[in-house]
Amino acid sequence: MYALLAVLALSSAAAPAQPPTTMAQLPPARTVPASTPPLTGTTWTLVRLDTGRGPITLNPGLERPTLRLVGTSATITTACGTQTVPVTRSGAILKFPRLGQGGSACPDAQLSLHGDYLDLLRRTTRYALQGLTLTLSAGTGRLVFQAAPTPIPAPGRPAPVKPTPVPPGGPMTQAPAPREVSVTALTLNGKAVPVPADARLRLTTTAGKVVLTGRLDCNTLTGQGTLTGSTLRLTALASTRMLCPAASAENAFLALLRGPLTVTVQGDTQTWRGAAGQVTLRDVPAVATPAAPTGTFVLTRLNGQPAPALNKPVSMTFENGQIGGTDGCNSYGGQYTLKGGVLQVGQLVSTMMMCPDMDGPRLFSLFELNPTLTQAGATLTLKADGQVWEFTRQP
């Protein structure tokens, strides 16, 4: 008995005391199983690219392109820059109808990947989502993306807290809402450049990041950059490729944006000055939001001419934040908002009938431009990019 007690005593004495568990000794964080994330609001990173002639090996040293869909727009990022473009989505159909070329500041090693990626996006017609994988189909070509799994903190480990970024000071309004400005004067290499009276830009500045969209001639321009103090740098520039009768203002403006600009503001006017010249912008007065339209409106005039005769009348019906009707062939439905006289249509779905004689302007394409909406009596007018659509309210 005494021998057994002695052995137990020696064993107890030999066992060292266990120190308390520290944060460094906690088990690592787990990740969520591969459940399917939402298509929109998720950043998708390219992991595989197949042009239709076989897969292309992605060099591990190259920056991977990404895609992020939010509402009716897509943000497309490569090592050559970032552009935000309209996107058309209905069921499993996904298209990028107005994708620019970009790549003005592209490293040589990234040019090939940049070109193949944008070319496949332009030809994309469908998508499939499974688990953490998004696949875009462009004929026989494929783009395969993955979303990063969401980390779950391990037991006892506090979840990381991201600090709230503090927007740097600057002459532009640091606000998430777009700021619409008119282009009132443009000078390049000491010579004044004529600017169309309806030239407009929309500027969004948040936490020192600047997004620019708009039109000076007939092409839609997009760009992204940074604002540090009073210095503006726009590096990711792109535009549509329409042949404009006279694009002198557009070309001069793009040439000016290729270098750093100094921004000064006086009242409702701001001036961007660079080595090549300067541009003067003036705030467009805010338009009061009209009362939401109600009822059904049928297209009666398009760009000043009688509405074309189609299989069905082009129509819009507004009711409690919902919009529906026909585009002359297919029926559609979705949601809309009306702010400051600008109509924004989202979550649009439609039938997919093939109809002849649909070569003119399309209603769905007009919606993508976020047209202005005005109503006078029974007449409702939508305007965007030089297009004027006049509808008449039905009894």
Please report the pLDDT score of residue 62 as a whole number.
75
Lowest mean pLDDT among 25-29, 120-124, 242-246, 264-268: 25-29
Q: What is the SS3 string spanning 151-191?
A: EECCCCCCCCCCCCCCCCCCCCCCEEEEEEEEEEEEEECCE
Please report the pLDDT score of residue 288 as a whole number.
60
Among 17-26, 88-97, 168-177, 375-384, top mean pLDDT goes to 375-384
Report, as an integer, the average pLDDT of 336-351: 86
What percent of the chain has pLDDT above 90? 24
CB 379 within 8 A of CB 392: yes
Same fold, 175-283 and 295-351+360-393: yes
Lowest mean pLDDT among 138-152, 158-172, 379-393: 158-172
Tell me the pLDDT of the chain averaged across its residues.
78
Q: Report the distance separating Cα 250 and Cα 148, nearest Å.
A: 39
| More confident: 12 or 310 | 310
Closest CA to 44 of 36, 52, 32: 36
Please report the pLDDT score of residue 378 as a whole number.
93
Q: Could you write out the DSSP letters of every residue in 293-318?
A: P-EEEEEEEETTEEPP--SS-BEEEE
CB 104 within 8 A of CB 81: yes
Q: Report the distance separating Cα 328 and Cα 355, nearest Å.
A: 9
Report helix, strand and coil shares of the chain as percent, to nearest 5.
10, 45, 45
Backbone angles phi, psi at 89, to 5 degrees: -135, 130
Please report the pLDDT score of residue 341 as a whole number.
85
Please report the pLDDT score of residue 32 as a whole number.
43
Q: Report the distance separating Cα 80 and Cα 357, nearest Å.
A: 39
Beta strand 209-215 with 231-239 is unpaired
Report, as an integer, the average pLDDT of 140-146: 91
Please report the pLDDT score of residue 245 as a whole number.
65
169's tokens: 């000071």
Please report the pLDDT score of residue 357 as a whole number.
66
Closest CA to 215 of 196, 237, 233: 196
| Count of other CB atoms within 10 angstroms of residue 332 | 20
Q: Report the distance separating Cα 196 and Cα 57, nearest Å.
A: 46
Report, as an integer, the average pLDDT of 101-115: 66
Report, as an integer, the average pLDDT of 362-385: 89
41-65: b (≥16 Cβ within 10 Å) or e: ebebebeebbbeeeeeeeeeeeebb
* Position 382 pLDDT exceeds 80: yes
Residue at token pair 């006017």: 269
| More confident: 25 or 82 | 82
CATH class (in words) of the domain with range 43-146: mainly beta
Report, as an integer, the average pLDDT of 260-288: 88
CB 74 within 8 A of CB 68: yes
- pTM, entire model: 0.38
CB 204 within 8 A of CB 176: yes
Report, as an integer, the average pLDDT of 225-254: 80
Please report the pLDDT score of residue 273 as a whole number.
94
Number of residues that this document lists for the chain: 395
CB 163 within 8 A of CB 220: no
Report, as an integer, the average pLDDT of 322-347: 89
Q: Decide: helix, strand or coil at residue 139.
A: coil
Q: Report the distance separating Cα 201 and Cα 184, nearest Å.
A: 11
Q: Count CA within 13 A, CB hemisphere, residue 301.
A: 10
Q: Report the distance separating Cα 241 and Cα 214, nearest Å.
A: 14
- Domain segments of the chain as ranges: 43-146, 175-283, 295-351+360-393
CATH class (in words) of the domain with range 295-351+360-393: mainly beta
CATH topology of domain 175-283: Lipocalin (2.40.128)
Which sign does the torsion angle of CA 7, 13, 14, 17 carry?
positive
CB 233 within 8 A of CB 260: yes
* Position 365 pLDDT exceeds 70: yes
pLDDT digits (tens, 9 = 90+) for 277-295: 999 999 887 666 668 899 9
